[in-house]
Chains A and B, each alone.
Chain A
Amino acid sequence: MKTIIRLAGIMILLWAAGTAGSPQESQADHAVVNFSDPAKPGTVEVNISEGSITVRGFEGKDVIIDARWREKVLTKEEQEGEADLAEAEEELDQEEMARKKAQAEKAKGMKMLEVESMGLTIEEEENVIQVNAEEGKRAVDLLIQVPFSTSLRLSCHDDERGVTVEGVSGEIEVETSDGPIVLTNVSGPVVADSSDGEIKAVFGKVTPGKPMSFSAMDGDIDITLPLDVKASLKMKTDEGQIFTDFDVRLTPSQQKKEEDERKEGGGYRVAFEKVTLGLINGGGVEIQLTTYEGNIYVRKAK
């Protein structure tokens, strides 16, 4: 059973008035969504381009979504551009005309709500809630409260505020391009990557047996693990440094392949994975940490 909710945001009225220099007011939207089967852990997927995502775990069965739209101040040029676009849309072809006519028939007697494409679509199907931002001009800051055991799949591009998650114990998949990823009091598994941002994760505990991976192109990766964690670290960095206050037993990479071409006149070559492998407390959960320029920090929880 699929449930679809559309958050419209009544921004258009404010925007129209915006040209007269009205105050910056951001409109907030609020929605409560149930999982099909609240007894089982669910998944929340969020996909936005401009904006930020904050997720907090709480003791409840539902998912509560608060969206705050950022008022975007348009320059005079942009305003003119918008006007031009609006005009162009007036030129409709025959098919469009027919469709509009049919629509008018159906809507007879009803009010049309000004819903311009700047909203969020929220869909729920079989315990997966999907939140998508429609291709719009408004950036949105999302605050989402989820039951503790929810799994998350979060994606946020083009924004400096990034993704923040607190107190969620399900699986977390996060991806940002510019913004930082900050995870606190999570138990994983976590699979995270960022092109320009940094990644910070503080684990309350670690789920054994489920591999994790963190990759950052520009930023640092900073993870804090419980001091009794059993982990097998696989760390790779091109230009950064690796720091840790754990007692890590470094092992030379075992993953080597030997090639002996001496008989055919070639050479004897051994290929190594260019990684630093280390065991914490004897080894356990596989954690892969990869950066290009940033540093890698693996901290003990105090």
Chain B
Amino acid sequence: MNCEKIRERTADYLAGELDEESLAGMRAHLAECPHCREELEGLSVIWTKLGVLPNEEPSAALRSRFYGMLEAYKKGLKKEGEGQGAKRALSIWLGRLMPRKPAFQLGLALILMAAGLGSGFLLSVRPRSAARAEMASLRGEMDGMRRIVAISLLKQASPSDRLMGVSWSVRIDRPGDEIIAALLQTLNHDPNVNVRLAAADALYLFYDHPEVKKGLIDSLAGQTSPLVQVSLISLLVEIRERRAVEALERLIQNEKLNPKVKKLAELGLVQLS
């Protein structure tokens, strides 16, 4: 291999796309040619440095603008379907939301802000009464999207993504059976303690859903992490779930139980009886 060929293969080398043969040929040449070696090293350094350039995060407004646009588009489609001057209806809806600073209606902005995370994490939604009916239908559609996002995130390999999935599911106004099942599944089977804890906290907020109370009680027996056990015991006591008494008694009898958890369980029994 000569210097010319090395230059031709540089791009592939940097991208890690060279096959064994070319790689070997390259290494052989580099061993003898200090000029190519130096050049390639210099290029590799820059390539690596580029790789560690951090990614920036857009503002929360970007997400709300996207979801706002998607909503409007869907509405436009529906109007199309209902035969209301097809294309015109669509373009009116799209037109309304496309200027750089979208002019949102009343409480729409609040709902859409809450759809994102970041500072929206702690935001509460208080729509004004005038727009309530529209809010309700919009919320339903928002829920649909949040559900898709949450379920998808809960399946990711990265525990941080799964934590985000739990966060998204908490923001769903009316979680259906699918979300509750996904959260219970996460509580019982996620390999990461932190994610299970987050799932327990999320389920607590939905405790009026029929499956949740039983799910929390049943989960206790299968948990091995003392942190999750502590969390579940506290939650069950908090929602005053009498049916948990049996589960607590069984837990206390487990010899391997962490003594602190045992103490808490005993306290819990007292409070529930």
A and B are partners in one complex rather than unrelated chains = yes
Whether the Cβ atoms of A212 and B160 lie closer than 8 Å is yes
- Chain A 47-82 per-residue mask, 1 if CB under 8 angstroms from chain B, else 0: 000000000000101000000000000000000000
Size of the B side of the interface (Cβ < 8 Å), in residues, is 50
Size of the A side of the interface (Cβ < 8 Å), in residues, is 57
Which residues from chain B contact A195 at a C-beta distance below 8 Å?
225-227, 258
Q: With A173-B159, A211-B160, A217-B258 in contact, is A292–B207 under 8 Å at CB? A: no
Whether the Cβ atoms of A215 and B239 lie closer than 8 Å is no
Stretch at the interface among B66-74, B195-203, B213-221: B195-203
Whether the Cβ atoms of B194 and A292 lie closer than 8 Å is no
Is chain B's binding surface mostly helix, strand, loop or mixed?
Answer: helix
Stretch at the interface among A97-105, A116-124, A283-291: A283-291
Stretch at the interface among A21-29, A34-42, A132-140, A158-166: A34-42
Is chain A's binding surface mostly helix, strand, loop or mixed?
Answer: loop
Q: Does A208 have its Cβ within 8 Å of any Cβ on chain B?
A: yes
Stretch at the interface among A8-16, A86-94, A252-260: A252-260
Whether the Cβ atoms of A39 and B159 lie closer than 8 Å is no
Contact of B122 among A171, A191, A283, A290 (CB under 8 A): A283
Whether the Cβ atoms of B197 and A290 lie closer than 8 Å is yes
Q: With A191-B163, A211-B164 in contact, is A292–B230 under 8 Å at CB? A: yes
Contact of A171 among B56, B158, B258 (CB under 8 A): B158
Interface residues of A (CB under 8 A from B): 37-41, 59, 61, 147-149, 151, 169, 171, 173, 175, 187-189, 191-193, 195, 205, 207-217, 230, 232, 238, 251, 254-255, 257, 259, 271, 273-275, 277, 279, 282-286, 288, 290, 292-293
Interface residues of B (CB under 8 A from A): 14-16, 45, 47-48, 51-52, 54-57, 117-119, 121-124, 158-161, 163-164, 167, 170, 192-195, 197-198, 201, 204-208, 225-227, 230-231, 234, 238-239, 258, 260, 264
